[in-house]
Amino acid sequence: MNLTCTVSAMPSNDNCDQRLRRILFRCWHRGTQEADLMLGRFAENVLSGFGRAQLDRFEALLECSDTDLFDWITGRLLPPPVHDHDVMRMLRLTHHHPARG
């Protein structure tokens, strides 16, 4: 994965790269294999294009339990309003329409 931030994302590339690596690590080390796969693949595909606000929203999602995230991403349950945003919609779309390859 290319860990390059968008220009508007962070003031320092070092801080940006460190933040992206930390987020990516958290996505691949959730505790359940299902969450690792869903979040890890998503992060590898989209994080480098996120701006600061999207990274903030994604990190807030990572604070949620795997069970809640799984239910929200798969559409079993609706996310609460605080987590019903563009990043969650992207996660749901990615899950329902995975990239072929």
**pLDDT score of 13:** 63
Which domains does the chain show, CATH number per domain? 13-96 (1.10.150.250)
**pLDDT score of 84:** 97
Q: How far apart are CA 14 and CA 45, in angstroms?
A: 20
CA distances from 17 to 4, 21, 28, 95 (A): 7, 6, 17, 26
Closest by Cα among 16, 91, 32 to 60: 91
Q: What is the residue-level pLDDT of the chain in tens, covering all 101 positions?
A: 444 344 344 445 668 889 999 999 999 999 899 999 999 999 999 999 999 999 999 999 999 999 999 999 999 999 999 999 999 999 999 887 655 44
